[in-house]
Amino acid sequence: MKVVKTVAELKDFVRAEKNAGHQIGLVPTMGFLHEGHLALAEKARKDNDAVIMSIFVNPLQFGPNEDFERYPRDVERDTKLAAAAGVDCLFVPEVEEMYPAPSVVTMTVAARTDKMCGVKRPGHFDGVVTVVTKLFHLAQPDKAYFGLKDAQQFAVIDGLVNSLNFPVEIIGVETIREEDGLAKSSRNVYLTEEERIQAPYLQKALQLGVQSAVQGEKSTEKVIERTISYLQEHAGAAVDYVELLSYPELEPLEQVQGKMVLAAAVNYSKARLIDNIIFNVNEGR
């Protein structure tokens, strides 16, 4: 596996792969890799001739009171894991390499951000689409892989690609979970022992809500209320939001119909967890 830290080195790698007629798969990450990230890399490995993974904690997507400085990092460990997962090129730039000067052009997401996590994170998805756009240009991937645990991020990137006609296919990969159902996340390390026991109830609450929708409940409000009630009883966390929206449009619905996402976020003492289930009532999940 080749490890590169500069834009010039990445361009050289991409040029060689393109000249060889190879298809490139891109796996953008912020590092501190877990099984969820590695599942993206393994899927990319199966689909492409060459796999590029980026590890970059993007400051543009962190708000002033968020955890940019304390976001977990372990590049040495990540390098070993990426190599084992079949990554061909690991791009690990410094902030100064990705943003060497103030940008002349800025990006603003016009839709799909006024719900879910976007409500309390103004500017977050502007930072996401900025770095993803740069990575698309630098890596020139045929396919790019994103976890569906962050369903809103995937919806925003779907909008980015379709609105600006990026020549890349985005692939959503199902959430990788612990044996008890908790979604793998770099932030799980911040849970206390008691919170770690309670955290799987986030997914169980969502399953309960989806079950009620699939079994015929037409009121989105009642599905949401049932999910919130279960969370409050079992999860031991402050409920940030529970929302049931069309997917990937992320529009509110008057009644349960079509393809939707039931998503939730909860706050523990030192960790904010998100999870979701994307489903289609017309297909019974």
Q: What is the pLDDT of residues 117-170, one digit of tens each?
A: 999 899 999 999 999 999 999 999 999 999 999 999 999 999 999 999 999 999
Q: How far apart are CA 260 and CA 280, in angstroms?
A: 6
CATH topology assigned to domain 2-173: Rossmann fold (3.40.50)
Q: How far apart are CA 285 and CA 14, in angstroms?
A: 39
Tell me whether residue 137 is annotated as binding: no
- The answer to whether the annotation marks 112 as part of a ligand binding site is no
- 10 Å Cβ neighbour count for 265? 21
pLDDT of residue 284: 53
184 is in an annotated binding site: yes
pLDDT of residue 179: 95
Average pLDDT, the chain: 95
Q: Mutual orientation of helices 35-47 and 75-84 as an angle, nearest 10°?
A: 40
* pLDDT tens digit sequence for 13-39: 999 999 999 999 999 999 999 999 999
61 annotated as belonging to a binding site for a ligand: yes
- Per-residue model confidence (pLDDT) at position 72: 76
Percent of the chain with pLDDT over 90: 91
* Domains 2-173 and 186-279 are alike in CATH topology: no
Is the pLDDT score of 283 beyond 90?
Answer: no
pLDDT value for 210 = 98
User: HEC profile for 252-267?
Assistant: ECCECCCEEEEEEEEE
Whether 234 is catalytic is no
140 has binding-site annotation: no
Tell me whether residue 86 is annotated as binding.
no
* Residue type for position 77: R
- Predicted pLDDT at 65: 72
Q: Domain spanning 186-279: which superfamily?
A: Pantoate-beta-alanine ligase, C-terminal domain (3.30.1300.10)
Average pLDDT over residues 197-209: 98
In angstroms, the CA 5 to CA 43 distance is: 24
Among the listed residues 37, 124, 137, 234, the single catalytic one is 37
Task: Return the pLDDT at 111.
Answer: 97
Please report, in angstroms and rounded to a whole number, the separation of the first and last CA atoms in the chain.
Answer: 39
Choose the weakest-confidence range: 54-58, 72-76, 206-210.
Answer: 72-76
Rounded CA Rg of the chain = 19
Using alpha carbons, select from 100, 105, 99, 90 the residue that is nearest to residue 58.
Answer: 99
Per the annotation, does 30 bind a ligand? Answer: yes
Task: Identify the bridge partners of residue 247 per DSSP, sorted by sequence position.
Answer: none
What pLDDT is recorded for position 68? 82
pLDDT score for 67: 74
Phi first, then psi, for residue 20 (nearest 5°) are -85, 0
User: How many CB atoms lie under 10 A from the CB of residue 82?
Assistant: 27
| Amino acid type, 230 | Y
Mean pLDDT across 98-114: 96
Name the band, by pLDDT with cuts 50, 70 and 90, for residue 63.
confident
Domain ranges of the chain: 2-173, 186-279
